[in-house]
Structure 1
Amino acid sequence: MTGEFQQQQGQQPNMPLSNNHGGHELFDVHEVLSSMIGALNQCVLLRDKIQDPELLSIMDRQYAFMLDEYNITVEAYKTGHDPKHPTRSYNMQTDNDFTYGITPGEPKKPMQSANEIDDSIIAGFMLAMHKAGAKGKTAAALETCNPVLRRVLQDSVPNCVEMAYEVSIYQNKKGNYQVPQLSPTDMQAMLNMYGQGQMAKNMPN
């Protein structure tokens, strides 16, 4: 573990927070910040190509939120101290209703020309960047020794999940994110596979 490695190297336990970073932590957060820049840049490049006002509204709200979150992450990364404000919570402005089932259609395939880009492809980019953000920030938080930076990263993960969820609902409504379901019998069988646990006899209440 990173902390054990630092102790073996004789690191002082009371060193300033700004220097309280492990090697894995710096490398992993470097990747996170680079990915956040890539996601923000992608929004800038794609925004003017959006046709649907609803998707444009989603991107604008998510971009502003992501930019603020990037800035406080950089601040925590560089200083090791609390940023100017805590990590905020992203609140999507849509319902959470999914349409279930698969409707056959044209197979998806890579573009052959930049002229093919449309709202469904842009929404796909947005969903992918939020999923990547959730995975990258989770992995980095698990390697982060600095308590402030770790908290900023871990608090950011639910926001990536929420933004991905918002985009997936939009895609589902447009027929571009289809959700298959099991048969009612198989679904009930899966739901009934698990029961409530009881406290083990050798564990204290």
Structure 2
Amino acid sequence: MQPNPAPTPPNMNHGGHEMFDSHEVLATFISVLDQYLIFDQYVKDQELRTILYRQHAFITDLYNICVEAFSTGEKPSHSTRVYKMQQNNNTVYGLTPGQPKKPFTSANEVNDQGVSGYMLGLIKSTGSLLGMTAFEMTNPVLRRVIADSVPNFIEMAYEIFLYQNKRHYYQVPQLTPQDMNQMLHSFAPAQQPNQFRQ
């Protein structure tokens, strides 16, 4: 019979793989926050600036509770907050003709369309990273903080998408009604099998 191992202190309750993932998550939060500060100088639209500031404040708070949970292994001073966007859910469908896109040739060309696109890319990739790392976290507190943050990044990305969409920066084409109807009805409900093989 093996003796019971000594309990692991909460701040040491991390696997090696989790240590690397946690560092990547925290470094990514710093990168997003730093880039949001850089973007501020290029923003002209007040609505985009409000989104930028609200998301920066939210991610700063999330970063702080993640650092706390990571370094102590215990519940942080407050729970993960819920991000609530201020946009409505109305999507503009269809394509509007415009000039072909191309890379900027000078930083002076950076505009609200570019900044909102950079923000969307950062938030989407960070949300994906959080989802992937939460699967393999061994510290239950840190895992819960990271997992609970995924829906918040989805909400932030959706907020930026809606901002872009109503300005025709992110256009949403639709299929013809006939094609859409065919695709909508191309699946049927599944039946439970009588039994699985033993």
- Residue 143 of structure 1 aligns to a residue in which SS? coil
Q: Does 1:37 align with 2:33?
A: no
Q: Choose from 84, 100, 106 the match for 1:107.
A: 100
Report if aligned partners of 1:18, 1:78 keep a CA contact under 8 Å in 2: yes
Q: Distance in 1 between matches of 2:44 and 2:188?
A: 48
Q: Does 1:23 align with 2:16?
A: yes
Cα 1:55/1:178, change in 2 over 3 Å: same
Counterpart of 1:91, as a letter, is K
TM-score by length of structure 1 reads 0.89
- 1:13 to partner: Cα distance: 7.8
1:57 corresponds to which residue? 50
Q: Distance in 2 between matches of 1:176 and 1:12?
A: 58
- State how 1:182-201 maps to structure 2 within 5 Å: 182-201=175-194
Root mean square deviation of aligned Cα? 1.6
Report if aligned partners of 1:72, 1:85 keep a CA contact under 8 Å in 2: yes
Q: Distance in 1 between matches of 2:88 and 2:189?
A: 31
Q: 1:63-111 CA deviation, whole Å, 9 max, x = no partner?
A: 1111101111111111111111111110101101111112232222221
- 1:12 to partner: Cα distance: 4.4
TM-score by length of structure 2 reads 0.92
Counterpart of 1:93, as a letter, is Q
- Residue 193 of structure 1 aligns to a residue in which SS? coil
Q: Does 1:156 align with 2:154?
A: no
Cα 1:13/1:192, change in 2 over 3 Å: farther
Report if aligned partners of 1:144, 1:150 keep a CA contact under 8 Å in 2: yes
Counterpart of 1:42, as a letter, is Q
Identity of aligned residues (%): 49
- State how 1:160-175 maps to structure 2 within 5 Å: 160-175=153-168
Report if aligned partners of 1:28, 1:139 keep a CA contact under 8 Å in 2: no
Q: Distance in 2 between matches of 1:14 and 1:135?
A: 33
Q: Distance in 1 between matches of 2:112 and 2:173?
A: 22
